[in-house]
Structure 1
Amino acid sequence: MSGPEALEGLAAHLTHELGRSPNTVRGYLADLRSLLAHVDECGHDLADLDVRLVRAWLSRAREAGAGRSTIARRVAAVRALTRYLHREGVLRVDPGPRLSTPSGRRALPTVLDEEQATAALSGPAPETPIELRRRAVVELLYATGVRVAELCALDRADLDRARETIRVLGKGDKERTVPVGVPALDAVDAWVGRGRPELVGPRSGDALFLGVRGARLGVRQAREDVYAHLRSAGLDGSPHDLRHSAATHLLNGGADLRSVQEFLGHASPRSTQIYTHVSVDRLRAAYRQAHPRA
């Protein structure tokens, strides 16, 4: 099996059998092309892939300044490849389990405090279709904690105004239902009633959010909407910061970790536990400032 054949087969395996997202698959393939080039430079082929070759490749990346998260992603990509090659009979032994993921404290997410979130969602009433869309995008991201790609994939039928929920298709095509607050619903109603009709066109379909040419709103433009709206409120932030903020504010308000896990669409509670660290850090700061014996 050649390198390109292996990557093509792995991509199909990750997509159709394991349900990995397109972004994950693209990231893995980019890393693995670098690995295969390294293997070729060393005068080896796929059947020779072992821990020694992989560690040399990872060391080169570290020397070039790759950070912990990059190395961790590369290790995950290699494990996926070696597991696949072992299953296909290319490798007699799978070296993946012998690779260690770099340790170190995971960086805490950037979170708006509740006053900043309120400021971001206040301000002059939007008037133009783009302003209406921006307000609705930011309100919905903060209200539901959805990923920006999930928001862009929403259809009008996914919004249940009566039940105050949206139906979200997440990673691995896993569907979940997420509650939506009234302010976000009102912002979406304003967009659908006064903004969307101005942009609708032959390619609109049932997409909830539209770009200026009438097609479904793209992820890049949705990000720009968030950046522009937050800048207008004097804040810096990204769509993922709104997701982090929604999760943290839920926990600060007393929501249990399991509920927040389902709200965010995390497959494992380990992914959600980082938000408890954010809340504990804030609690510790408040304690030190206010408690007489801190």
Structure 2
Amino acid sequence: MNLDQLVDDYLVHIRTERGYSEHTVAAYRSDLVELVDFASRRGVVSVAGIELVLLRDWLWETTERGLARSSIARRAASARGWTAWLRRRGLLAADPGARLKAPRALRTLPRVITETALADALAALADRAVGGDPVAVRDAAIAELLYASALRVSELVGLDLPDVDRRRRTVRVIGKGAKERVVPYGAPAARALDRYLDVARPAILAAATPNGTPTADVGTAVFLGVRGARLGVRSVHRQIAALLSSIPGAGPSGPHALRHSAATHLLDGGADLRAVQEFLGHASLGTTQIYTHVSAERLKQSYRTAHPRA
């Protein structure tokens, strides 16, 4: 079996058996296709030639191209996952990737929007929706729900109508690794979401499909685009980036900034770290702990600004 086929089989494995997201599978595909191309240029066309020296040379080449540490670390992880799978299938006598090391990705603190700035931004969206424009009402509901429930953007656009329990104010989402969780949302998000579902969504759907019925997928999707199809990740990213563009501060301005902000505000308000872990759907508590560092940095900044002996 050639290396290209083995890469395809591995990608099917991580998608169907490991539950990796399409985004992660695409990243692994890119890395492993590049690795197989590098191996081919070195004369390696069979699995027997996948050795530690080859993997190290491949990573070294990517380093020489000036790739970021995070990109190199991800490539190493892709290679290690693949070779471990090859070993488990009995195609390699030993796992060369087990000894492959890469520079640790630099961990930067996520951008967090202040509660006041977020309140102002969400109020501006609500004011825009007062006139009843269906898209403006939808956009207000999206921003409120992203912040209220700290959803990943992929989780938000994947929501179907049965996933929303309006009486209990909860949404059921499928997160990374196909893990399901139920998260709450508050009164402001409930008002925005109810208005969207009761008034704006039917209007968007009616305008987009005047002479027919929507497809089954569109019929169940919570958030719709102006053409009546399920809203995409890029559309939400553009919307939130525009919303946050005028707020001072460095760092990303996409939907994840709302997720980071929600997590940090929960911890600032006294929420338990493990409860926040469950809320965010993190597999590891260590991933959630980054927000404790954010809170500590914010405290230091407040101290330096406000304390007379700072």
**TM-score range relative to shorter protein:** over 0.9
Q: Secondary structure at the match of 2:224?
A: coil
Q: Which residue of 2 aligns with 1:112?
A: 113
SS in 1 for 2:220: coil
Greater alpha carbon shift after TM alignment, 259-268 vs 201-210: 201-210
1:284 partner amino acid: K
Q: 5 Å matches for 1:138-287?
A: 138-200=143-205, 201=209, 202-203=214-215, 204-231=218-245, 237-287=253-303
Provide the C-alpha distance between the structure 1 equivalents of 2:246 and 2:189, rounded to a whole number of angstroms. 18
Deviates more, 1:281-290 or 1:170-179: 281-290
Q: Greater CA deviation, 265-274 or 40-49?
A: 40-49
Deviation at 1:233, TM superposition (A): 7.2
Q: TM-score, normalised by structure 2?
A: 0.90
Distance 1:231 1:282, change over 3 A: closer
TM-score (norm 1): 0.95
Is the contact between residue 70 and residue 105 of structure 2 (CA under 8 Å) also seen in structure 1?
A: no
Q: Which runs of 5+ in 1 are unaligned?
A: none
In 2, distance between residues paired with 1:103 and 1:172? 23
Partner of 1:289: 305
2:134 aligned partner: 129
Shift of 1:114: 1.1
Cα pair 1:210 1:217 within 8 Å, conserved: yes
After the TM superposition, which of the residue ranges 96-105 and 242-251 deviates more from structure 2?
A: 96-105
Count of residue correspondences: 294
- Cα separation, 1, equivalents of 2:246 and 2:140: 11
Contact 1:145-1:247 within 8 A present in 2 as well: yes
Distance 1:12 1:62 in 2: 28
1:234 Cα deviation after fit: 8.2
Offset of 1:153 from its aligned partner?
Answer: 0.8
Name which of structure 1's ranges 7-16 and 232-241 shifts more when overlaid on structure 2: 232-241
User: Which amino acid in structure 2 is aligned with residue 190 of structure 1?
Assistant: R
Q: C-alpha displacement at 1:71, in angstroms? A: 0.8
Distance 1:104 1:75, change over 3 A: closer
1:208 deviates by: 0.8
Cα RMSD of the aligned pairs, angstroms, is 1.7
In 1, distance between residues paired with 2:33 and 2:288?
A: 31
**What is the SS of the residue equivalent to 1:121?**
helix
Q: Is the 8 A contact 1:137 1:225 kept in 2?
A: no
Residues 14-62 of structure 1: CA deviation (Å, up to 9, x unaligned): 0122111111111001101001111111112321112211111111111
Distance 1:104 1:221 in 2: 29
Identify unmatched segments of 5+ residues in structure 2.
none
Name the residue aligned to 1:54.
55
The one-letter code sitting in structure 2 at the alignment partner of 1:258 is R
In 1, are the aligned partners of 2:70 and 2:104 still within 8 Å (CA)?
no
Report how far residue 125 of structure 1 moved.
3.9
- 2:72 counterpart letter in structure 1: I
